[in-house]
Amino acid sequence: MKLLIPAIMAGNTYGYWLMGANNILTTQRLDPIVRPGRVGTHVHSVIGGSNFGFELTTDFLRESECTSIPIAEDKSNYWYPHLYFWWKNGSFTSVDGSPVIVSFGSYYLYSDEPGATTAFPDNFRMMSGDPTLRTLNASSFAQQAVTFLCLNFEGESVRYNELPDHRCPNGIRAEINFPSCWDGENIDSEDHKSHVAFLSTGPDNGTCLDPAYPVTLPRIFLEVYWYTQGFDDVRHEAMNFKQPFVFSNGDPTGYSYHSDFFNGWEPGVLQRALDECNCNPFGDPACCVERGIFSFDNSRRCYITEAIFEPTLGTLDSLPGNNPVQEECYDEYPDTVIPPIMAPVYVHNGSNLAPSDTSTTLVPARTLVTKERPRGTCIAGSSSLRQTTTKTLLSLIPSFWAIRLAFSLI
């Protein structure tokens, strides 16, 4: 697999490591940061600790039986909206994806100077991106933090601010930077963003100069490789053959791409890694393992069964949550049907879940008595309304309350 060396590396000295997730932990309509304790508005794919659920704390995540991240001491959760192919008949088919974290995470990126970067405190959480956006503000660091790379391993790969409106020979890589400057006091904020800020000259470069955000955090950079090339032969059967893909929140533009992080690192491990784990210039975490900082196993698998009884993968009549596709702008259309909540949630490795290990309905399906707002101008418009954006040519270089039962993950 070819890897892009991030632009941040040029002209600066940083330590970093990268890690491909061993697998996606789950794909369901949960968002314990934005909608704790409730069914989410749209589907997310999740990686990390197996205690992911309706509500989270760092201590609860540390109790996870396993993590889908190869660093066993990182039981944090990272999640992002799933991608679907939109057919002419109005149905949707899920697209397979594979996440890579650069810490600078998934990359984790940080200063080489010991003590210059501070590990995330307990119960720290944040969100990057905005699920309501449908247009581009090119001067916004928050929107500069989101890009899409049209992969072409035999030629030039092109980076866009939106989902590319043409075939990408080797798929699309969705990329998002998280803020890496912290106010030093708050582990969260009302919008899950105001307690953090981007670097002084952009999401992937600069320092924490703003006195309101003086603390430098490791920068998380999350990449998801979407295997969109698998739909090349059926693009003519899409609702929009030029750009047939839609995120789970009903966005066909990509401007609303977002990701969330909830800290679940074991105590002291991340800080030690930030201070001592800058021994490899290519992001290989092996030397950190050799120093006894953390363990690394990319063969381990970690999954959980769904807490919400509804299909999210395969071919679906509508997007989960009944989200309409909205291209021109965004308006929330709450789903009137709340799916059943299931328990217990089982932890498994993909092959050791016995037929008798089935969840039962904890909360039955409910229909809300709400008056549906009339659908207006915020429904999908003509593809000609897509904004023209700057392209960059790149060369590719290599719940609490839910019962959980865990099984041997050997």
Is 409's pLDDT higher than 80?
A: no
> Is residue 158 helix, strand or coil?
strand
Which pLDDT score, from 0 to 100, does residue 238 have?
Answer: 98
Q: How far apart are CA 15 and CA 4, in angstroms?
A: 16
Q: Which two tokens stand for residue 58?
A: 């760092």
Which pLDDT score, from 0 to 100, does residue 216 have?
Answer: 95
- Please give the residue that has the higher pLDDT: either 86 or 337: 86
The H or E element spanning position 405 is: strand 404-406
Is 318's pLDDT higher than 70?
A: yes
Which pLDDT score, from 0 to 100, does residue 371 have?
Answer: 44
Is 11's pLDDT higher than 50?
A: no
Q: What is the pLDDT of residues 200-256, one digit of tens each?
A: 999 988 999 999 999 999 999 999 999 999 999 999 999 999 999 999 999 999 999
Q: What is the pLDDT of residues 219-232, one digit of tens each?
A: 999 999 999 999 99
- Contact indicator for 366, 333 with CB cutoff of 8 Å: no
- Cβ count near 276 (within 10 Å): 15
Is 18's pLDDT higher than 70?
A: yes
Q: How far apart are CA 361 and CA 235, in angstroms?
A: 39
Which residues are CB-neighbours of 11 under 8 A, at least 6 positions away? Answer: none
- Please give the residue that has the higher pLDDT: either 150 or 409: 150
Q: What's the pLDDT band for 86 if we cut at 50, 70, 90?
A: very high
The overall average pLDDT reported for the chain is 84
Q: What's the pLDDT band for 281 if we cut at 50, 70, 90?
A: low
Q: What is the pLDDT of residues 178-201, one digit of tens each?
A: 999 999 999 999 999 999 999 999
Least confident of 42-51, 171-180, 332-341: 332-341
Q: How far apart are CA 303 and CA 48, in angstroms?
A: 9
Which pLDDT score, from 0 to 100, does residue 38 have?
Answer: 93
